[in-house]
Amino acid sequence: MFVREGLDAPAPITSMPGVVQHSQESLVKGAVEAVDAGVGGLMIFGVPQHKDERGSGADDPDGVLNVALRRLHAELGDATVLMADLCLDEYTDHGHCGVLDEHGNVDNDATLERYRAMALAQAEAGAHLLGTSGMMDGQVGAVRQALDGAGFVETGILAYAPKYASGFYGPFREAVNSSLSGDRASYQQDASRTAADALAEVALDVDEGADIIMVKPALPYLDILRAVADASPVPVAAYQISGEYAMVEAAAERGWLDRDRVVLETLRSIKRAGASIILTYWAAEMASRLD
């Protein structure tokens, strides 16, 4: 779910029909409805009004995501698993997942400092599980250390381990009003990499303290998902991302696909490939349908 600062009513996301940028109020309402429908958890993304080069809104206790987490936690308590996207791209004016050095390159280690601060802000606001999606080297270890150091030993880490540089993230850029002009090829995985490379990423993240491993995107990477599910010592999740959602919705809108049938079929394929947790924009709908 997306929550955008400064909105007083939900705003549609054109490339993701049926998904909206929520206001703080409509987010709480939508979250309660989703939990009542039976979803297992909520992943929240913040869309700040002001972006800057270091992504200041990300660790500001009054930043849009942290405010939302606090409100959701007050409303839902432990009735659901409250997850927070731990990444800077929604908050930076250049749109990258980290801060930049003087040459304009993403500075891995300086970014880890920002992630530590974000982790503390999100844990303090009530998130149960932090989704480290920025793909910096050492991010899981850095976040784990920060959390433990502040006594948040129960706050978990959902580690995006093999996360591929993908064209399927397209609609997400609109969803978070992204200002990215280049790509993320220097920190996300290359799609031509083998499953063995994915397993190496998984091993590093597990070693650093990942509680759950996530493979992303899902449908174009089911082979990777199967390999990870077979090898991972921790539960494995898959993220059915914005472009996967959009292509089904768009084709269905034209009458080219039987929407309900195809949605279920894609989710079945992801489950069959070994995911025990699926992040999907169809979660609330499917929770009702699968009742």
CB of 254 to ligand PBG, least distance (A): 22
**Contact stretch for ligand PBG (CB under 6 A) within 81-89, 101-109, 204-212, 258-266:** 81-89
Residue 85 binds ligand PBG (CB under 6 A): yes
Binding mask 231-260 for ligand PBG (x = CB under 6 A): ----------xx------------------
Which is closer to ligand PBG, CB of 76 or CB of 83? 83
**Contact stretch for ligand PBG (CB under 6 A) within 27-35, 52-60, 84-92, 230-238:** 84-92
Residue 17 to residue 15: CA distance in whole angstroms: 6
Residue 290 to residue 287: CA distance in whole angstroms: 5
**Contact stretch for ligand PBG (CB under 6 A) within 25-33, 58-66, 82-90, 106-114:** 82-90
CB of 12 closer than 8 Å to CB of 22 = no
Residue 5 to residue 151: CA distance in whole angstroms: 29
Using CB under 6 A as the binding rule, the residues of this chain from 256 to 275 that contact ligand PBG are none
Which is closer to ligand PBG, CB of 133 or CB of 155? 133
Residue 208 to residue 141: CA distance in whole angstroms: 4
Residue 26 binds ligand PBG (CB under 6 A): no
Beta bridge partners of 20: 12
CB of 250 to ligand PBG, least distance (A): 15
Edge-first strand order for the sheet with 20-22 is 11-12, 20-22, 2-4, 41-47, 81-86, 129-132, 156-163, 212-216, 236-240, 277-280
Residue 235 to residue 285: CA distance in whole angstroms: 24
CB of 143 to ligand PBG, least distance (A): 14
Query: CA 175 → CA 101, 242, 248, distances in Å?
Result: 27, 9, 17
Which is closer to ligand PBG, CB of 128 or CB of 184? 184
Tell me how far apart the 2 most distant CA atoms of the chain are, in Å: 54
Q: Which two tokens stand for residue 40?
A: 């297992």
Residue 184 binds ligand PBG (CB under 6 A): yes
Sole binder of ligand PBG in the list 115, 169, 187, 282 (CB under 6 A): 169
Is 29 among the catalytic positions? no
Is 216 among the catalytic positions? yes
Residue 172 binds ligand PBG (CB under 6 A): yes
Q: State which H helix or E strand residue 289 sits in.
A: helix 283-289
Residue numbers at the binding site for ligand PBG (CB under 6 A): 85, 87, 89, 97, 133, 169, 172, 184, 241-242
Which residues are known to be catalytic? 163, 216
